[in-house]
Amino acid sequence: QVQLVESGGGLVQAGGSLRLSCAASGRTFSSYAMGWFRQAPGKEREFVAAISWNGGITYYTDSVKGRFTISRDNAKNTVYLQMNSLKPEDAAVYYCAARPAGGVTTVLWDYRYWGQGTQVTVSS
């Protein structure tokens, strides 16, 4: 069993930055692919970014490329999402997810473990 706890969300003005963190339990975190997803009110949960077990492969949805950066620190069992130049359309609940086996993907249902989410609000 893996537990994921997100933090770092909050209220920010458009153009501002936030860094989300996701702390994972378990000794095998370093072998997991990790992803960030988000869900805005009335919308489906969507892929944002993902990273392979060693950080060598990263994926981003087109709308965040050049603004968001996913990274991980396996020594700290933590994955990060640095979000810059935030836009009102980035506002959502952001979820961290872990995929124990099979490699990094952008597909929501490939991820087995999920955190409780952290709210990001962007004011215009």
The tens digit of pLDDT for each residue in 80-105 reads 999 999 999 999 999 999 999 889 99
Structure tokens at 82: 């640095």
Q: What is the mean pLDDT of residues 53-80?
A: 97
Q: Could you tell me the pLDDT band of residue 123, with boundaries at 50, 70 and 90?
A: very high
How large a percentage of the chain has pLDDT more than 70? 100
Handedness of CA 50, 64, 69, 11 (dihedral sign): negative
Q: What is the mean pLDDT of residues 3-31?
A: 95
